[in-house]
Amino acid sequence: MTPFDRHLQAAQGYLDLGLPLGVHEELEEIKPELRHLPEVLAIKVLIFQLLAK
């Protein structure tokens, strides 16, 4: 498992727990050049949806 995969998996775990700050922190650990990938952006959208509730 790559560092990217670990951070993405951890971010998803925080998202499942309803902890948007943890999600954000994990996504910030991803290399900047990978933050535009669809997997990362999809989680960011879910954070916004969680915060909008």
Task: Going residue by residue through the chain, which has 53 residues, state the pLDDT in tens, using 9 for 90 and above.
Answer: 999 999 999 999 999 998 989 999 999 999 999 999 999 999 999 988 888 87
Domain count, the chain: 1
d(CA 30, CA 17): 20
Mean pLDDT of all residues in the chain?
93
Residue 30's domain comprises 3-52
Cβ atoms < 10 Å from Cβ of 2: 8
- Under 8 Å CB-to-CB from 17, ≥6 apart: which residues? none
Sign of the CA dihedral running 25, 28, 5, 12: positive
The pTM (predicted TM-score) of the whole model is 0.87
Q: Which residue, among 25, 41, 34, has the nearest Cα to 5 in the 3D structure?
A: 34
